[in-house]
Structure formats: C-alpha cells, structure tokens
Amino acid sequence: MKILVANLGSTSFKYRLFDLGDPGEPMLARGAVDRIGGPSSKVVYASSKGKTEADRAVPDHGEAVRLCLEQLTNPATGVIGSASEVSAIGFKAVHAKGISGVQRVDARLLSAMEAFNDVTPAHNPPYVRAMRMLAERFPEMPLVAAFETGFHATIPDRNRRYAVPNEWATEHGVLRWGFHGASHRFIAERTALLLNRPDLRLISCHLGGSSSLCAIRDGKSVATSMGMSPQSGLLQNNRVGDFDPFALPAVMRATGMRFEEALAILANRSGLLGICGKNDLRDVEAAAETGEADAQLALDMYVSSIRHYLGAYLVELGDTDAIVFTAGIGENSPRIRSMVCRDLERLGILLNDELNEAGHGERKISAADSKVEVWVMPTNEEIIVARQARDLLSARS
C-alpha cells in the first residue's frame, strides 16, 4: 500500500510517498511546492531516480497535488506507474471541535476543523481550504486526517482538565488537547525499540519553531505542555506560550488595541521574536554569542520554560528512564541541550559533553554513569501519519 503524506502551509505543499507494503516501509519520493498562489512557485522533487527543481506558476493546492502526481508518474524520474497506485493522501491535521484520532476527510470533519479556526489560526484555515479543494478535484482519492491531538487521548483528567466550569469541558471542548502527537508517538515507539523496553517512562522534548514536551509511560501520553491550543506551553519562535489571559484587558485599555489585534500579537509577534526581534534560534544563539542581552534573555527564558515542564514530568513519571531531544532545535543545538540538563546530576541526569557536542543523527549523549539516558533522535512524523492512514483504510476494507 502506497500512502502520500501531505504537510500543508498557507502557500506551501510538502509531501512524502511511502510504500507500506514493503517490510522496510521505504520512502519512495519526496517533494515540495513553495509560494503557491504567487507569480512563480518553486517546485522540487527527489527520488532514487533523480532530483528536479523548477520555477512555475502554481495557483492553488489542487494544482500542487496534480504536479505531485505528475512527478511521481514521470517515466524518467517517477516511482509509480499511475496515480491509482496511491491508496490515500494522509494529512498531519492539527485540531477539530469534538473530533480527534484518525478520520476520513468529509464535510462533517471539515466543519469541525473550521469551528476551531480561531483556536489554531496558523494551521486549520490552510488545511481546510486545501482539503476541500483536493476532495473536489480528486474525489476518487481517499483523504485521511491524522490529528495531532490523538496521541494525547490517554492523558488522565487530572492532567487534561482546566479548573473551569464542567460544561466548558464537556460542551465546548476546553481541555488540554496537546499537539505534536505524531512526533511524540514516533519517539515513544522508536525509544522502546532501541532500549527493548515497552514499559519505558520517558520525556519527549520536541524542540523546534514550535515546541512541546510530553511525559510518556508505557508508550502512552500522560501529560503534555501544550493545552487547548498550540499557542500555549513553552514559548515558541513567534508564539507566546503560557500567558495570563487577565493581562489582556490591561494592555487593551492602555493601548486602545482590539481583542483580535492583541491575539494576533500573541500568536505572531511574541515568543523569541517578541523578546529579541529574532524568531530563528540559530540567529538568537549567534546574537547571544556577541553579547546581545535580549538574545541571551530569550535563550534563558526558552530554556527555563523547558526545564519547568521537564521538572514537572520527572515528578509525574517518578522513575524516568530516558529523555529524548528531537525536532530542529532538539536535534541540532548542543547549547540548548546542555542548558536544559545543567546541574541535574542529583536527579540522575548527566550529559557526556563530548557526545553532546559531536556527531549527528540518532545517538545517546548521556554520561556512562547517568541514571537517566539522554538521547538525540530525529523524528519522523510522516511515517506515523502514513501508518495511521493505512491502518484506517485496512480496518474499513
């Protein structure tokens, strides 16, 4: 079974094609279309047969998918004979009102996603537009949404509920839903395989432009840092993270700002960007090296937010077996890993500085006498989505 996994942005379409009929689950091809809707889009494709890059006008996501299928079936560089060999398109969907898990895309699901457009403003609107367009243009192609919230359905109510009136939770879905589910699920499965332990207690640290921590026991999520929306938890590249909502009226009175304007600032001009004017951690680290005080403050605040949740989850799990750093920052920033783990020897966490600074890819970076193993592990959200789409289709066949 061949599954095409789509990762959508408002003006981008990235994809990977997996062959899940092969025991090795190989990725057959990958590609991307950027600047969709602009005068010229960058179209990239790569497979074992070669790589192509071109600039051409791509007006919408439907055309991007058509180009994708054209690339995959090209006699020179393609990897399938016809588009009919693709069993489904799987989407790493984010959030929907009253719906989670893995679902076929239909009118009911799209309406549920639209109901939470204001909860996930950077994610749901482009996904809904693209899914609706693809359903109309390719009605014979099954579309499957694998929601990031699904992995966190096992979180107990004591960690899932807010202290708000019961009807807010039961009728309006005001809960700690959690996100980055595909990444945390992959880390849970991969770590259990590497350590040959299905009963692991581990903390998955997905650190990137968007960051979250997850406490995992026996392969299941029991707590996570993001809540009702991806705006909460750790501070992000340009999102606020945890924030007292009662601060908003004070700011609005003082500035004359409208509620929607204030929310837009919290969602797009806060986080690292709001603190030091830079939203890429590599730039923040470089500026801190030159002595820029705001950049150092941004680093310190980011690390403090990570350690806040790390400490909470060490207590939640009790006896932690492993801490795993993943995603762009988690995999590539020795400085952040070192700052997060500093002075934690008495908690059984001790890095090997040489291992932390050197090497690439999947590896253990804890010291030999560290009670808690510390790993760097590239995540693979797309293979999780592909497997979930396959399992849904197989169950319904």
- CATH number of the domain residue 239 falls in: 3.30.420.40
Same domain, 249 and 316: yes
Domain end among 146, 174, 205 = 146
What pLDDT score was predicted for residue 180? Answer: 94
pLDDT digits (tens, 9 = 90+) for 384-395: 999 999 999 988
Residues 234 and 367 reside in one and the same domain: yes
Q: Tell me, yes or no, whether 177 lies in a domain.
A: no
In the predicted model, what is the mean pLDDT of the chain? Answer: 93
- Domain assignment present for residue 118? The answer is yes
Residue 182 within any structural domain of the chain: no
Tokens of 256: 């004359």
For residue 9, the cross-strand partners are 12
Domain of 252 in residue numbering reads as 197-381
C-alpha 169/C-alpha 176 separation (Å) is: 10
Q: Which residue has 């790589």 as its token pair?
A: 51
Same domain, residue pair 94 and 202: no
Between CA 92 and CA 68 the distance in angstroms is: 18
Residue 395 has a pLDDT of: 85
Annotated binding site for ATP: 14, 280-282, 328-332
Domain identity same for 93 and 9: yes
Range with the lowest mean pLDDT among 34-43, 152-161, 165-174? 34-43
Looking at the fold, whether 334 and 210 belong to one and the same domain comes out as yes
For residue 347, what pLDDT is reported?
Answer: 96
Bind-site residues: 7, 14, 280-282, 328-332, 381
Highest mean pLDDT among 52-56, 207-211, 265-269, 303-307: 303-307
pLDDT score at 10: 61
Residue 296 confidence (pLDDT): 97
CB-based contact 127:75 (threshold 8 Å): no
Phi, psi (deg, nearest 5) at residue 376: -110, 130
Residue 311 lies in a domain: yes
Order of strands across the sheet with 102-104?
A: 50-56, 41-47, 27-34, 12-19, 2-9, 86-91, 143-146, 102-104
CA atoms of 33 and 56, how far apart (whole Å)? 10
- Residues flagged as binding site for Mg(2+): 7, 381
Q: Give the per-residue pLDDT at 153.
A: 96
Nearest-angstrom CA–CA distance, 92 and 15: 11
Strands 41-47 and 27-34: antiparallel
Among candidate residues 227, 198, 200, the one with its CA nearest the CA of residue 213? 227
Q: Is the pLDDT of residue 100 over 90?
A: yes
392 domain residue, yes or no: no
The CA R_g of the chain, rounded to the nearest whole Å, is 22
Mean pLDDT of 302-310: 98
- Residue 393 falls inside a structural domain: no
340 versus 76: the higher-pLDDT residue is 340
* The pLDDT value given to residue 397: 62
- Does 234 lie in the same domain as 110? no
Average pLDDT over residues 190-210: 95
User: 1 is written with which tokens?
Assistant: 């079974």
Quick: pLDDT tens for 325-339: 999 999 999 999 999
- Indicate whether 40 belongs to any domain: yes
pLDDT of residue 5: 94
Residues 203 and 338 in one domain: yes
Q: 232 and 377 in one domain?
A: yes
What is the DSSP-derived secondary structure letter of residue 366?
B
> Is residue 106 included in any domain, yes or no?
yes
Residue 137 shares a structural domain with residue 237: no
pLDDT band at 141 (very low <50, low <70, confident <90, very high): confident
Same domain, 217 and 341: yes
Q: What percent of the chain has pLDDT over 90?
A: 73
Most confident of the ranges 30-44, 69-83, 360-374: 360-374
Rounded-to-integer distance, Cα 222 and Cα 216, Å:
6
User: Is the CB of residue 146 less than 8 Å from the CB of residue 388?
Assistant: yes
Residue 271 is predicted with a pLDDT of 95
**Domain tally for the chain?**
2
Are 131 and 228 contained in the same domain?
Answer: no
Q: Are residues 234 and 87 in the same domain?
A: no
Provide the 8-state DSSP code for 237. S
Percent of the chain at pLDDT > 70 equals 99
